[in-house]
């Protein structure tokens, strides 16, 4: 069973309503390319900070993969969020 409390509803509203709308407005001001480049940079930094293994040997490949996946996931979230907000804005 799903149980939604106040904080979970607030998190869903922020992640799926407020953040895409804010990113859409911000992308209209500076451009979508810069927004996605910033998302990639933040994803790479997050992946570097979350790395568990040392930066040598087998740990290097795992850390680079974590950084790449983090960057790709955040860039995809931004691109989809801005695209959906743009589609909604065109319909209104």
Query: Most distant CA pair in the chain: distance in Å?
Result: 54
If pLDDT is split at 50, 70 and 90, which confidence band does 73 have?
very high
- Summarize pLDDT for 20-62 with one digit per residue, the tens: 999 999 999 999 999 999 999 999 998 888 877 666 666 778 8
pLDDT at 68: 92
Percent of the chain scoring above 70 in pLDDT: 91
Domain boundaries, the chain: 18-91
The CA-to-CA distance between both ends of the chain, in Å, stands at 35
Average pLDDT over residues 54-80: 85
Model pLDDT, residue 29: 94
pLDDT for res 48: 84
């Amino acid at each position: 069973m799903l149980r939604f409390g106040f904080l979970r509803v607030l998190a869903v509203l922020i992640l799926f309503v407020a953040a895409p709308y804010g990113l859409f407005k911000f992308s209209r001001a500076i451009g979508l390319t810069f927004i996605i480049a910033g998302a990639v940079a933040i994803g790479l930094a997050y992946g570097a900070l979350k790395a568990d293994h040392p930066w040598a040997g087998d740990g290097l490949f795992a850390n680079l993969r974590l950084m790449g996946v983090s960057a790709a996931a955040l860039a995809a979230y931004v691109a989809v969020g801005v695209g959906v907000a743009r589609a909604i804005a065109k319909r209104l």
